[in-house]
Structure 1
Amino acid sequence: MMDLVSIRRDFHMHPEVGFTEFRTAAKVVELLTSLGYDVIYGQDAMDGPSRRGLPSQQVLDQAYERALRDGANPAIAAKMRGGYTAVIGVKKGKADGPTVAFRFDMDALPVLESKEEDHFPKANGFRSRYEGNMHACAHDGHTTIGLGLAEKLADGDFSGTVKLIFQPAEEGVRGAYSIVQKGLLDDVDYIFCHHLGVNVPLGEIHGGSHGFLATTKMLAHFHGVSSHAGASPEVGKNALLGAATALLNIHAITRFSSADTRINVGVLEGGTAANIIPAYAKMIVETRSETEEVNAELEKRVRNIIASSAAMHDLNYEIEVIGGAIPIDYDDEMAELALEEAKKVEGFHSFKKGEHNSMGSEDASFMIKRVQDRGGKGTYMSIGTDIPAPHHHPKFDIQEEILPRSVELLNRIARRILA
C-alpha cells in the first residue's frame, strides 16, 4: 500500500513549475505502469501548438537536466523533452461501461518557501530543495491523491474505463487546453476535478464550485529603435513609452454593468540604460470576467489599446496568448453524487452542494466543458483542509490527513459510476 505522506513530501521537496514537471511526471508514469495502467504521455498526451506560455528552451533544458540528476527515469523523461509533461493513466474494467475521468494538477509556483521553524515542511525536513520554487497551492497533494486513487482502482473490478489525467501548468491556466485539443477528453462520460483548501475547512466538502472567471493572459512585445537619449532622441522610437501608454489606458477600460470584470497589467519591462532610448519592452496583461462574452470584449479592447499605443509611438508589436480559462458550470447530479459518497467517508461532516469559489480562474474548465459539450457531465469539488497561510504564500501547507480521505472519496465516486 502506498505511503501517501511520503509521496506527497517527496513531491513537495522537488517542486517543478509549469511544463517543467519532468521528475514529477516521470515518477507518475513509473507508478502507473507498475499498477498495470496503460499510460499515455509525452507528445501523445498534448497538442504541442496548443500549449500556452511555454518557458524558454533554456529553462526547459535546465529543468530537464535537474530532473535527471534528481532521479527521473531517463527513458521516460526523454519523451517529455520540450515541455510535454502531461500523463494520462487508463484502466479498463472487467466489462464494458462508461468512462470516468479524474484530473490532478502537478505544477508548483515560483515562490520562495518559508525557512521559519514554525513552517511544517521546514520543521519536518521536506522544505523545497529548489530555491525559488514551491508547492504553494496543494498540487503536490493533488498528484499524490491521483496516485492513491490509481492504486485503489488497479484491480479493474468495475464496468467501464477510468482515466486519470495528471496535468501540467495549471498555474497561469496554461496546460489543460492542449490535452483537450489532443482529443483525450472526447470519450469521457463523466469528469471530476477538485482542489484542496480554497478557504474550505477540514471536514467540509463542496460537491460543486462556481464563480470561476473566464480569463485571457496576454504577452505583448513592443519593438522600437534605440538611440542616444541626449544627442539624438528624435531618432529613437521608445518601446517602453509605448508599453507604458498601453498600461495606463488598459487600466482605464470602462467596467461593465452586465458582469464583474478584472484587468491587470502584472509585468512591464524594458530598457537598458538611462541614456538609451528603449528599443524593446514587454507587458503581461490579464483580463477576467464572469462570462466568456464580456471577457472576449475586454480582450478585444486590450488588443486595440496595444495596437493604438504602438502606432502612437511608431512601434511594431506582437501579442501572444499565454493562458486562458472559461467559467465552470457544474452538473447538479454530479455534485449530489459526490456529496452522497462523501457522507460515507469518515472525517467529512459538512456538506455543501454549490458554493461560490473565489480562486479566480481554473483551466480544468476546458476539460469539463468538452465533456459536457459531448453529452457528458462533470463537477469541480472543493475539499477542505485547514491552511496556515493563503494559497501562493511562502508558508502555505495542507493537513496531510486529507490525502487518504480524498482518495477514498474519489474511489467511491468511481466505483459508484462504474458499478
Structure 2
Amino acid sequence: MTRDQQILEWYQHFHTNAEISWKEIKTTNKLAQIMEDLGIHYRTFEDVTGLVAEIGDGEEVVALRADIDALWQEVNGSYQANHSCGHDANMAMVLGALLELKEEKFNKTLRFIFQPAEEKGNGANAMIDRGVVDGVTHLFGVHLRPAEELKYAKFSSAIHHGAAMFLQGKIVGVDAHGARPHQGKNSIDVLVAIHQMLKTVYYSPFESHSVKMTNMHAGGDSLNIIPGQATFAIDARAQKNHVLEEMKEQLERKLRAIGQLFDVTIEWEWQDITPGAEVSTEAAELARQGIADVIDEADLEPEIHTSGSDDFHVYTIRRPDVKAAMIGVGANMTHGLHHPEMAFDTTILPQAAKVLASVMRHAANSHK
C-alpha cells in the first residue's frame, strides 16, 4: 500500500467509525494500534480518551494537534455520530505527516496530539491538565475550510477563529389549564421574551458578533395545558475575547430582568466558553514557509478570519508562552462545516499531510 493510499484508508476508517466527544474509545484504540504498527512511542490516559505520540529527541517540543471527536446530529432522519466538522480528515492528515517524518532525525521532540472533545470545548483543557503541552514551544493545528474560504488545494498559514460561548437555560414557571391562564406562569411567554431580548444585544458594527437561540422546548402532548417549565439554549460569538465577555455579562443581566418581569425563575449554565484565536506571528510565518515548500506560491492564501470557533486556542490562552497557529486546507467542501451532508474532495489529504510534515520540519529546525 502506498503512503497516499494509507492516508485515505485511515480517513475512511475514522469517517465510518465516528464517535462523539468523550466517547472516542474505539478511535483512541485505533490510533494506538496505528502507533504500534509504525513503531511509534505513544501514551494514552486512564481517565480520558485521546493519545499523544512522539518522535525525535530533545528538551524542546514542537507539537501538531488533531481533534478526534464527531458531532451528534440528525442524518437522513436518524441521529448518529457524524464527522461533519472534518475531524476524521484532521486525524488522517496528522497521521500522514507522522508517517512521513518518523524516519527522519530531529534535535527536538515532535509531539502529535490526538485530542478528544473539541466539540464540547473542554478537550484542550483536559490535555493541558495532563501535561500534553509541557515543554512545547510551537503548536500547530489543521482544519478543512469551507469552499467560500478556501478553494481546492489552497492553503492558509493561520485561522483566526472567533470566541464563542454556549448557554443552557431552564425556566421554572407554573402550569395551568388552557382555560385559566391567569392561574399559571407561561414559560412560552418567557421564551418569546428571551428570543426578542437577543435582538437588543448591540455592539459596534466594527466588532463582529452574533447571538441567537439554538434550542427551545416547552409543553407536552396535551394541547390544553399551559406549560410552566421550559428549556432553551443560546449560542453567542464575537471575534474578540473582550467583546464576548461583555456579551456574557449583558445576557446574564437581561435574563435576570426577564425573570423578574414574568415572576419566574430562570436558571442557566455556561456549558463552555471557547476563546478567540491568539495567533503567533512567528508560528504563522513558520507555517507559511512550510506550506510554500510544498505548493505553488499562488496557492498560498492570506490568513483567514472566521466567526467559527475552536478550542485549539485554549492552549495559547492558558499557556501564553506557546507559539501557535492553525493551518487552513481547501478541499472543495460543500454544504459547509456542521452540515449533516458536509462533503469534500478527499484527494487533498495526502498533499495536506506533506504540508504539515514540512511545517513541522521548519518548526523543528527553528531557533528561539
Distance 1:182 1:303, change over 3 A: farther
SS of residue matched to 2:213: strand
- The 5 Å alignment of 1:119-198 reads 132-155=80-103, 157-171=105-119, 173-198=121-146
CA distance in 1, matches of 2:268, 2:46: 28
Q: Does 1:390 align with 2:352?
A: no
Distance 1:172 1:346, change over 3 A: same
Distance 1:238 1:175, change over 3 A: farther
C-alpha displacement of 1:37: 1.9
Q: Which amino acid aligns with 1:334?
A: A
SS of residue matched to 1:327: coil
Q: Does 1:39 align with 2:40?
A: no
CA distance in 2, matches of 1:181, 1:321: 20
Identity across matched positions, percent:
23
TM-score by length of structure 1 reads: 0.77
Distance 1:401 1:340, change over 3 A: same
Do the aligned residues in 2 keep the contact of 1:213 with 1:289 (CA within 8 Å)? Answer: yes
CA distance in 2, matches of 1:392, 1:152: 30
Q: Which amino acid aligns with 1:361?
A: S
Aligned residue in 2 for 1:254:
202
Aligned residue in 2 for 1:275:
224
C-alpha displacement of 1:299: 0.9
Of 320, 326, 350, the residue aligned with 2:275 is: 326
Aligned residue in 2 for 1:48:
none
C-alpha displacement of 1:92: 5.0
Distance 1:147 1:399, change over 3 A: same
Aligned residue in 2 for 1:78:
none
Do the aligned residues in 1 keep the contact of 2:67 with 2:90 (CA within 8 Å)? Answer: yes
Aligned residue in 2 for 1:107:
69
Aligned residue in 1 for 2:22:
19
Of 347, 354, 358, the residue aligned with 1:412 is: 358
Say how many residue pairs are matched.
358
C-alpha displacement of 1:305: 1.8
Do the aligned residues in 2 keep the contact of 1:32 with 1:147 (CA within 8 Å)? Answer: no
Do the aligned residues in 1 keep the contact of 2:162 with 2:306 (CA within 8 Å)? Answer: no
Q: Does 1:220 align with 2:169?
A: yes
Runs (5+) with no aligned partner, structure 1: 44-83, 116-129
SS of residue matched to 1:391: coil
C-alpha displacement of 1:270: 1.3
Q: Which amino acid aligns with 1:41?
A: F
SS of residue matched to 2:51: strand
CA distance in 2, matches of 1:388, 1:38: 35
Q: Deviations over 1:116-147 (max 9, x none)?
A: xxxxxxxxxxxxxx864432222111011222
Q: Which amino acid aligns with 2:336?
A: P
Runs (5+) with no aligned partner, structure 2: none
Q: Which amino acid aligns with 1:164?
A: F
C-alpha displacement of 1:113: 4.9
Q: Which amino acid aligns with 2:141?
A: C
Q: Deviations over 1:311-337 (max 9, x none)?
A: 223322321112322221322222222
C-alpha displacement of 1:192: 0.5
**Greater share of strand:** 2
Q: Does 1:209 align with 2:174?
A: no
TM-score by length of structure 2 reads: 0.87
